[in-house]
A and B are shown apart, each in its own frame.
With several copies, the nearest count.
Chain A
Amino acid sequence: MTETQTQPALKAKDYKSDIKPVWCPGSGHFAVLSALSKALAHLALKREDVAMVSGIGCSSRLPAYTEVYGFHGVHGRALAVAGGLKAARPDLTVIAAGGDGDGFSIGGNHFLHACRRNMDITYIVMDNEVYGMTKGQASPTTSPDWSASKLTPHGPGVPSFNPAAIALASGATFIARGFSGDPNKLTQMIVEGIQHKGFSFIHVFSPCTTFRPEQKGWKKQVHEYAEEVTANPVKTAQGLQADDGMGTGLIYRTELPPWQPAYDAICEPSALEKEFQV
Chain B
Amino acid sequence: MNKTNVNHPDTLSAAITGSGGSGVVTAGQMLLKAVAAAGLFGLMTRSSGPQIRGGESAAMLRLGVKPVNNLDDKFDILLAFDWLNVTRFVDEIPLQPGSLIIRDPDAGEVPPELASDDIQVLDAPLKSLAKTIDGGRPNMIGLGILAKLLGLPEAALRQVAAEHLEKKGEKAVEATQACISLGHTQEWSELPISPLEPPHTPPVRWNISGNEASCMGAVRGGVRFVAAYPITPASEILEWLAPNLEKLGGSLLQAEDELASVNMIIGSSFGGVPSLTATSGPGLSLMMEGLGLAVTSETPLVVSNVMRGGPSTGIPTKSEQSDLNIALYGFHGDAPHLVLAATNIGDCAFTTQWAVYLSEVLQTVAIVLSDQSQGQARSIIEPPAEPKEAYQRLLAKSPEEENHYQRYALTEDCLSPMSIPGTEGCIYTADGLEHNERGTPSSMTEDHLLQLDKRRNKIDGFDYGEAWADLQGEGENCIITWGSSSGAAFEAAQRLSQAGVPTRALALRLLAPLQKQKQQNTLQGVSNAIVVEQNHGAQLYHYLNANQLLPPGTRSMAQPGPLPIRPGDVMAMMTQEADND
Contact = CB atoms under 8 A, between A and B. Distances in A.
Asked whether the complex places CB atoms of A and B closer than 8 A, the reply is yes
Interface string A15-27: 0010100111101
B421 A49 contact: yes
A22 B430 contact: no
Interface in B409-442: 419, 421-433, 439-441
B472 interface: no
Given A22-B51, A51-B421, A74 B247 contact: no
Nearest to A267: B247
Nearest to B206: A276
A40 to B, nearest CB: 12
A45 to B, nearest CB: 12
B268 A87 contact: yes
A102 to B, nearest CB: 11
A91 B273 CA distance: 13
A269 B313 contact: no
Given A22-B52, A91-B422, A74 B256 contact: no
A70 to B, nearest CB: 3
Contacts of B428: 69-70
> From DSSP, what is the main secondary structure of chain B's interface residues?
mixed
A263 B252 CA distance: 11
A265 interface: yes
Interface stretch (B95-103, B110-118, B235-243, B573-581): B235-243
Contact of B441 (A46, A64, A68): A64
B227 interface: yes
A151 B239 contact: yes
B113 to A, nearest CB: 21
Nearest to A91: B422
A214 interface: no
Nearest to A152: B254
A74 B310 CA distance: 13
B257 A272 contact: no
A206 B205 CA distance: 45
Contact of B267 (A27, A49, A68, A83): A83
A240 interface: no
A266 interface: yes
A135 B232 CA distance: 9
Interface in B80-118: none
A71 B265 contact: no
A2 to B, nearest CB: 11
Contacts of B53: 24, 210
Interface in A121-160: 131-135, 137-138, 140, 149-153, 156
Given A89-B268, A106-B229, A80 B430 contact: no
Given A64-B429, A80-B255, A24 B54 contact: yes
B259 A134 contact: no
B242 A72 contact: no
B293 interface: yes
Contact of A71 (B243, B260, B267): B267
Interface residues of A, number: 79
B267 A69 contact: no
B233 to A, nearest CB: 10
A48 B425 CA distance: 8
Given A72-B430, A134-B231, A87 B51 contact: no
A197 interface: no
A216 interface: no
Interface string B204-248: 111110001000100110001101011110010011101111111
A71 B429 contact: yes
B465 interface: no
B169 interface: no
B565 interface: no
A87 B239 contact: no
Contacts of A71: 266-267, 270, 297, 429-430
A47 interface: yes
Contact of A84 (B227, B232, B422): B227
Contact of B242 (A50, A67, A153): A153
A156 B255 contact: no
Given A153-B243, A272-B247, A135 B235 contact: yes
Interface string A46-88: 1111111100101000011001111111111100111111111
A239 interface: no
Nearest to A261: B251
Interface stretch (A107-115, A175-183, A229-237, A242-250): A107-115
A273 interface: yes
B268 to A, nearest CB: 3
Contacts of B282: 74-75
Contacts of B51: 22-24
Contacts of B426: 48
A76 B240 CA distance: 25
Contacts of B267: 53, 71, 80-88
Contacts of A271: 247
Given A22-B55, A85-B271, 13 more contacts: A56-B313, A71-B429, A74-B432, A77-B259, A87-B253, A88-B267, A106-B229, A133-B232, A151-B242, A153-B246, A269-B219, A269-B248, A278-B206
Interface of A: 17, 19, 22-25, 27, 46-53, 56, 58, 63-64, 67-77, 80-89, 91-92, 105-106, 108-110, 112-113, 131-135, 137-138, 140, 149-153, 156, 210, 261-269, 271-273, 276-278
17 contacts: A51-B421, A52-B429, A63-B429, A67-B427, A71-B270, A74-B312, A77-B260, A77-B290, A81-B266, A84-B265, A84-B275, A106-B257, A137-B235, A262-B251, A266-B249, A272-B247, A277-B383
The 5 closest A-B pairs by CB, nearest first: A84-B264, A70-B429, A265-B249, A84-B267, A88-B268
